[in-house]
Amino acid sequence: MGNKILVIDNDEALCKLIRTILNDEGYETKYFTNPYEGVADFKLDNYSSVITDIKMPGMDGIDVLEQIKRMNPLIPVVIITAHATVDITIQALRKGADDIITKPFEAPLLIYRVKNALKNKALREENRQLKQELINKSQFENIIGITNAIKKILDTIEKIAPYDIPVLIVGESGTGKELIAKAIHNNSPRKNKPFIAINCGSLPSTLIESELFGHKKGAFTGASEDKVGLIESANGGTLFLDEVGTLPIDVQKVLLRFLQEKELRRVGETKTINIDVRIISATNVDLKSAIKNGIFREDLYYRLNGITIFVPPLRERTDDIPLLTAHFISIQNRRFNLNCAGFTQEVMEILKTYNWPGNIRQLKNVVEAAMAISSNRYIDVDILKQFIEVDSIEVLNKNETSGDYYKNLENFERNYFKNLLDKNKWDIELSAKEAGVNISTIYRKIKKLNLS
């Protein structure tokens, strides 16, 4: 679909003016002074955007907006009006308007708003295509991503899910390790049996053994009745041990015995119980270092580590950020009946260069918080700055970066990063480390500065 724009306004002189302005910018523009004819033509032609007035006889701009969005929700609609009251603005935004321009307006403003609407449309279409690609390529719907790292993980899950091989999932906090464990379980022969997740780091140190293995009534003070442990609750299914590296050494010993014998004894009980579970564990610490430091058993490590799945941090899979963001927005829109269309292109670029120390969990929290306080269809930089630190240089408007200072700054960056990469033989990781920036920043500079 090319950049063909439909203009609907009962003022023919204004229609011709808009057509002239947009045609000079390379857009193909067609106008109608009759809104019914304009909507009818929209059905027959491939338009990229629609500009419509609010006050028109017969069918007003809100009606036009609803008709257009019903036929194609992705098409950006820009409203022009001489009566931009608060009520009209709110109504138009709720109905799906992408922008509102107040008459009279200057040509540069119209061009800027139209370009911005088309950029946001392209972003929405990209997100839709990426999501569809993910659905088509993978049956693991809760694992969102299209980067090679995620595709490799999905391929590994598909291969190992049918077999009772122990799996160790390694990755930073917030990267989605439990989702991977659930995907393995849901695609295994045990999928109709329990999936029991245990956060080993959150269990009270005095009750860990009782929580895991259960206890008999009277086994200790407060044990007023028999209790089935978490491991026994997973019988026949999958046991997920999250933050397994935090288990105390004495509990590790008991867990190792269970893994070897496939049987457990409740605290205070004399008889043993046979248990059939698949073990999947996860850690955000280096277990090999923990072994060297004497805080994790080497024999337990080898029992848990049949197959290792490494989950990369979000800063190393920035191409997944638009898709993840669209996913979280869609969930919130459905949950709270919102009409958020997403982040502006400017904000999306910032999201893709931010370091994300809290990974996907942090991104999800930022999206939900931004949607909660934003009253616009598109979440802008002012909203984003309330939740993450934004590099001011990165968010300057292009109109503000045309001076001599910014040209020299760009030349400096081009020379600096070109020399840095050449020096390190284009080793991205080494260059990022030397420059003191993250890997995604290096990739962004290569693209922005057209380095090769």
pLDDT for the residue numbered 398: 42
Asked if residue 294 has pLDDT above 90, the reply is: yes
How many CB atoms within 10 Å of residue 134?
21
Share of the chain above pLDDT 70, in %: 90
Give the number of C-alpha atoms closer than 13 A to the C-alpha of residue 326, restricted to the C-beta side. 21
Pick from 401, 319, 344: nearest CA to 99: 344
Highest mean pLDDT among 39-48, 190-199, 435-444: 190-199
Looking at residue 186, its amino acid is N
Q: Yes or no: is domain 148-312 CATH 3.40.50.150?
A: no
Return d(Cα 10, Cα 338) in angstroms, integer.
32
Of 216 and 372, which is predicted with more confidence? 372
Return d(Cα 192, Cα 63) in angstroms, integer.
49
Q: Yes or no: is domain 4-132 CATH 3.40.190.10?
A: no
Return d(Cα 345, Cα 434) in angstroms, integer.
30
Helices (H), 101-166: 107-137, 148-160
Residue-range domain boundaries for the chain:
4-132, 148-312, 315-384, 398-448
Assign 138 a pLDDT band (cuts: 50, 70, 90): very low
Of 391 and 156, which is predicted with more confidence? 156
The separation between the first and the last C-alpha atoms of the chain, rounded to the nearest angstrom, is 31
Q: Do domains 4-132 and 315-384 have the same CATH topology?
A: no
Asked if residue 80 has pLDDT above 50, the reply is: yes
Contact 449, 414 (CB under 8 A): yes
pTM here?
A: 0.59
pLDDT for the residue numbered 129: 67
Contact 84, 90 (CB under 8 A): no
Pick from 361, 365, 359, 367: nearest CA to 329: 367
pLDDT for the residue numbered 403: 52
Asked if residue 181 has pLDDT above 90, the reply is: yes
Assign 427 a pLDDT band (cuts: 50, 70, 90): confident
Please state, in angstroms and as integers, the Cα–Cα distance from residue 277 to each residue in 24, 205, 238, 354, 395, following that order: 69, 24, 5, 40, 51
Q: Per-residue DSSP letters for 292-330?
A: HTTSS-HHHHHHH-SEEEEE--GGG-GGGHHHHHHHHHH
CATH says 315-384 is which class?
Answer: mainly alpha
Give how far the C-alpha of residue 335 lies from the chain's centroid of Cα atoms, to the nearest Å.
17
Of 101 and 141, which is predicted with more confidence? 101
pLDDT for the residue numbered 408: 66
Asked if residue 180 has pLDDT above 70, the reply is: yes
Contacts of residue 172, defined as CB under 8 A and 6 or more positions apart, other chains included, come to 284, 311, 313, 359
pLDDT in tens, 303-331: 999 999 999 999 999 889 988 998 899 88
Assign 394 a pLDDT band (cuts: 50, 70, 90): very low
Contact 352, 318 (CB under 8 A): yes
Mean pLDDT, rounded, for 67-78: 88
Pick from 388, 281, 272, 341: nearest CA to 128: 341
Render the burial of 275-313: b for 16+ CB within 10 Å, e for the rest. bebbbbbbbbbebeebbeeebbbeebbebbbebebebbb
Arch. (CATH architecture) of 398-448: Orthogonal Bundle (1.10)
